[in-house]
């Protein structure tokens, strides 16, 4: 019965730049699919109700709640997770800014916050404070009180602009 309601199928998408072919089920969420992989546990699950954003991943560049996206929805898409941000072991400017500003405590929201910031800065390389606050308000951090996160995003924007120069 369970099998019939939840048929298996083959899914292909791009994960952090590399093609993925995987057999999964129609009821599997993207976050669960990612977390089943040894290298996919950086994506965290908290509310599983598309509220907290801990599970944020980028799908074709847009931040989405991985807990509330079915795996089949990403067929043919580019998916980026926290594991895909560093290049050759070097942290991305956003990751580095989060590290240097202590924009995390327990770290459970951090992957989601960083991906949210990556999406913002890809769209708007020089966001003002209100825009940063607005974007960061879509995710929950219970630890930091947000100040260091907001500062880290501003800092990351500066680092990215400097790197682009």
Contacts with 62 (C-beta within 8 Å, 6 or more apart), sequence order? 119
| CB crowding 89-120: b at 16 or more within 10 Å, else e | eeebbbbbbbeebebbeeebbbbbbbbbbbbb
26 touches other proteins (CB under 8 A): no
Partner whose footprint covers residue 98, from ligand FES, other proteins, none (CB < 5 to 8 Å by kind): other proteins
CB closer to other proteins out of 38 and 165: 38
Q: Which does 33 bind (CB under 5 to 8 A by kind): ligand FES, other proteins, none?
A: none
Q: Which is nearer to ligand FES, 142 or 158 (CB)?
A: 142
Interaction between residue 110 and other proteins (CB under 8 A) = yes
Residue 65 interacting entry, from ligand FES, other proteins, none, C-beta within 5 to 8 Å by type: ligand FES
**Rounded-to-integer distance, Cα 45 and Cα 42, Å:** 10
Give 75's contacts (C-beta < 8 A, 6+ positions apart): 11, 12, 13
Which one among 33, 67, 121, 136 touches ligand FES, defined by CB under 6 A?
67
**How many residues of this chain bind other proteins (CB under 8 A)?**
50
């Amino acid at each position: 019965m369970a099998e019939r309601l939840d048929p298996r199928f083959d899914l292909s998408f791009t994960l952090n730049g590399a093609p993925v072919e995987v057999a999964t089920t129609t009821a599997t969420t993207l976050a669960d699919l990612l977390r089943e992989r040894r290298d996919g546990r950086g994506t965290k699950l908290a509310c599983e109700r598309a509220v907290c954003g801990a599970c944020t991943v980028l799908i074709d560049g847009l931040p989405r709640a991985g807990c509330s996206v079915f795996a089949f929805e990403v067929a043919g898409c580019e998916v980026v997770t926290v594991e895909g941000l560093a290049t050759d072991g070097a942290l991305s400017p956003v990751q580095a800014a989060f590290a240097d500003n202590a924009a995390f405590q327990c770290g459970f929201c951090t992957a989601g916050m960083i991906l949210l910031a990556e999406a913002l800065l890809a769209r708007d390389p020089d966001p003002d404070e209100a825009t940063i606050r607005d974007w960061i308000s879509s995710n929950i951090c219970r630890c930091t009180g947000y100040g260091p996160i907001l500062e880290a995003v501003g800092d990351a924007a500066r680092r990215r602009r400097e790197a682009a120069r």
